[in-house]
Amino acid sequence: MAGAMLMSTALAQPDTGGFVNTLMPQPAHMTVQTGRLTIGAAFTVSTDKFRDDRLDGAIEWSLQRLKMQTGIVFPAAPAGTAGTLVVSVDGPGEAVQGPDENESYSLDITPRSAHLHAATDVGAMRGLETLLQLVQSDGQGFWLPAVSIQDSPRFRWRGLMIDCSRHFEPMGVIERTLDGMAAVKMNVFHWHLSDDQGFRIESKVFPKLTELGSDGMYYTQEQAREVVAYAGSLGIRVVPEFDMPGHSTSWAVGYPDIASGPGPFSIERHFGIFNPVMDPTRESTYEFLDKFVAEMATIFPDPYMHIGGDENNGVEWKQNPRIQTFMREHSLKDTAALQAYFNQKLLLILTRHGKKMIGWDEVLTPGLPKDVVVQSWRGFDSLAAGAKQGYSGILSAGYYLNQMDSAADHYRVDPLPASTTLTPEEQTRILGGEACMWGEYVDPQIIDSRIWPRTAAIAERLWSPRSVDNIDDMYRRLWVESLRLEELGLTHISQKDVSLRALAGTQNIDALLPLASVLQPVTFDTQDAYTESHDITTQTPPDTLEFALPPDPPSRHDFAEMVSTFLQDPVRNTSEGAALEAMFRSWTGNQPGLIELMSGSPLLSEAIPRAEQLLQLGTMGIEAVSYLSTGTPAPPGWKARQVAILDQAEQPTALVRFTVLKPLRDMVDEVK
Ligand code: ACM
């Protein structure tokens, strides 16, 4: 397979006693010695200070994973003796984990023993994940390198948001996502539970919220508590979001009186921004929200509750004469001022129920109390602007997974770049960031492939020092982490072939794999334009080629790296030239089989132009390698023809785009 072949050319890591550093995220400080601690049948673990059920559970879970990884059954350490690994924890950590939880740990491994020290259970969990990532294997078996690590996060808020409104995600998806988050040391699961397209959590006080607003797809309170407990066992906070006052159609289906328009309302099936918005002028709205927040506060113990606040178009407010009169009487000059009024009242409700407020950056309006946290999604500048005004903030602009950007693109986005103009005090207000998985184009089958492995790169940006910024080294480790995540139960790799088999309607998809390996979904904007013109809704199944394919597959970065190495000296770099040629031949090798397979599938036939382009691109590559490696000029007109082919291949077709065009263009450019 082309992917595997490419991977072997990735950056080699400096060798220290055979230890290959694949840690993700990278620790703050690590020194490496040359010794090895063997992981064999005598490997035991003990605790020597504080212990509780959560810590015991975390150790047990780590040992189970180590057992799966090594095939070794580990004995319990005899009572009162020190294990091979001693876990020393000072105390349990915060009763309800918040942003100030101490997550630091140190890990010292010698050829005789390992010692993990942490102030809290949560710190110990972070250290155990590091330990599992350190495991090495070779002809002598499994072992840990002799290292000394002192580690703590750069940012204290390292989140992942999942929108479960536009598409509902069952419990299994949520739980395996939490496993993945813990593996890369993320600590906030932001659960987007309501939006225009569905209300996803049971309210016993207002049962019609889900009876009429969810199509029967929602989390019971018991399930939500289970998620909170499971996340807590992994040291992950759960911040629920109830989007208000806009993005609230699903609330109004069962309770039209809280809306500003006349109704009746129905669950929204389309994507975008809609008019239904809560009525901020009536006391009954606040009485409703007071009871609702009180109920949700019994389920979600986190100090924060997210109130959304984004994308209110104000249309229903402008169209309602009673609301217009209210605005005049209260000197509220525009709908933004009315929303600020609503937020102030909502903040009192949250405070009464022991919750701090977080909202999307639209909540940042004059007079907003300084303890509201602002989540920047519209741009980087609003984060810094908020910090200058005294607000704490987290960054999501640049971390939208649904944009279909590369891991490298996300990795380059730093909540506090070296160029920051914030004062040291203002910098302390930047709490971190959150990756956002919006739910327009995901379902339970493909969501993992949109979240992972790219989220691991974002997790590293938020945990590791700013200086950890080498893109090639990030990818080298990302592909390893991706496999570890798969072992944990995530389906981001395996789903691709499952989806391709379903699309092809046959078990034999060999002819399709070379094409599938060099395509990825189009960007969100291209997808969005298609949605508008083709009436795509929440009811449209994700069953075309784009949904089968992961964004930023290994081919993109690895091919670019390989071409760049080759082009440094095409005449001398014969092995790179040969590897490239072999890959191009895999693109051109079975064109009739590929076309036959795609023509036989109604769901794939739309993408046949991509198959035809693959043949052209492969031929171009073979010819370019030949000219470059021999230093022979191309015949007249060749370059112009190739540029035309590349330009054509850049055009969106079947909502998939090639991952390899830029390096191919570079090769063509270099031909004489
Ligand atoms: C958002 O993307 N509307 C927060």
Does domain 5-151 sit in CATH 3.30.379.10? Answer: yes
Q: Which atom of ligand 1 is nearest to the CA of 308?
A: 4
Cα 658 to averaged position of ligand 1 atoms, centre (Å): 28
Strands 136-138, 157-163: pairing is: unpaired
For 129-156, what is the HEC assignment?
HHHHHHCEEECCEEEEEEEEEEECCCCC
What is the pLDDT averaged over residues 538-565?
96
Cα 279 to averaged position of ligand 1 atoms, centre (Å): 21
The pLDDT assigned to 367 comes to 83
Does ligand 1 have an atom closer than 6 angstroms to the CB of 403?
no
The pLDDT assigned to 16 comes to 59
Q: What mean pLDDT, rounded, does the chain reach?
A: 95
Residue among 346, 288, 339, 308 nearest 195 (CA): 308
Pocket test for ligand 1, best of 166, 360, 361, 395 (most atoms within 8 A of CB): 360
Q: Which atom of ligand 1 is nearest to the CA of 311?
A: 3
Q: What angle do CA 333, 334, 338 make, to 5 degrees?
A: 95
Does ligand 1 have an atom closer than 6 angstroms to the CB of 310?
yes
pLDDT higher than threshold 70 for residue 5: no
CA–CA separation, 180 vs 169, rounded Å? 16
pLDDT higher than threshold 80 for residue 537: yes
Q: Is-contact 243 273, C-beta < 8 A?
A: no
Enumerate the active-site residues: 311
Query: Cβ–Cβ contacts within 10 Å for residue 494, how many?
Result: 12
| 47-60 residue pLDDT tens | 999 999 999 999 99
Does ligand 1 have an atom closer than 6 angstroms to the CB of 606?
no
Task: Quote the pTM value.
Answer: 0.96
Query: Is 562 strand, coil or helix?
Result: helix
- Residue 245, preceding peptide bond in cis (omega within 30° of 0): yes
| 424-439 residue pLDDT tens | 999 999 999 999 999 9
Q: Where in the chain is the domain with CATH 3.20.20.80?
A: 157-312+344-469
CA–CA separation, 187 vs 77, rounded Å? 30
Rounded to whole angstroms, what are the CA distances from 93 to 104, 120, 294?
A: 11, 5, 26
Residue among 275, 260, 280 nearest 332 (CA): 280
Q: Is-contact 387 429, C-beta < 8 A?
A: yes
What is the pLDDT averaged over residues 500-521?
97
- Residue 264, preceding peptide bond in cis (omega within 30° of 0): yes
Does ligand 1 have an atom closer than 6 angstroms to the CB of 311?
yes
Q: Is-contact 299 203, C-beta < 8 A?
A: no
Architecture of domain 157-312+344-469: Alpha-Beta Barrel (3.20)
What is the pLDDT averaged over residues 194-216?
98
The pLDDT assigned to 467 comes to 97
Q: What is the DSSP letter of 12?
A: P
Q: Is-contact 430 382, C-beta < 8 A?
A: no
pLDDT higher than threshold 70 for residue 10: no
What is the pLDDT averaged over residues 16-36?
93
- In sequence order, what are the residues at sequence separation of 6 or more whose Cβ sits closer than 8 angstroms to the Cβ of residue 141? 38, 39, 40
| 105-122 residue pLDDT tens | 999 999 999 999 999 999
Q: Which atom of ligand 1 is nearest to the CA of 400?
A: 2
| Gyration radius of the chain's alpha carbons | 27
The pLDDT assigned to 381 comes to 87
CA–CA separation, 314 vs 338, rounded Å? 9
What is the pLDDT averaged over residues 528-544?
93
Cα 241 to averaged position of ligand 1 atoms, centre (Å): 12
Q: What is the DSSP letter of 353?
A: T
Does ligand 1 have an atom closer than 6 angstroms to the CB of 377?
yes
Work out whether the CA dihedral 526, 530, 533, 538 comes out positive or negative: negative
Does ligand 1 have an atom closer than 6 angstroms to the CB of 255?
no
Residue among 486, 516, 487 nearest 501 (CA): 516
Q: Which atom of ligand 1 is nearest to the CA of 247?
A: 3
Q: Is-contact 580 621, C-beta < 8 A?
A: yes
Exposed / middle / buried, residue 175 (Cβ in 10 Å: 0-12, 13-18, 19+): middle
The percentage of the chain sitting over the pLDDT mark of 70, rounded to a whole number, equals 98
Cα 272 to averaged position of ligand 1 atoms, centre (Å): 10
Query: Cβ–Cβ contacts within 10 Å for residue 596, how many?
Result: 11
CA–CA separation, 211 vs 165, rounded Å? 14
Does ligand 1 have an atom closer than 6 angstroms to the CB of 313?
no
Cα 66 to averaged position of ligand 1 atoms, centre (Å): 39
Cα 310 to averaged position of ligand 1 atoms, centre (Å): 6
Per-residue pLDDT band for 14 (boundaries 50, 70, 90) equals very low
CA–CA separation, 36 vs 33, rounded Å? 9
Rounded to whole angstroms, what are the CA distances from 197 to 166, 255, 267, 308, 525?
A: 5, 15, 6, 15, 20
| 603-657 residue pLDDT tens | 999 999 999 999 999 999 999 999 999 999 999 999 999 999 999 999 989 999 9
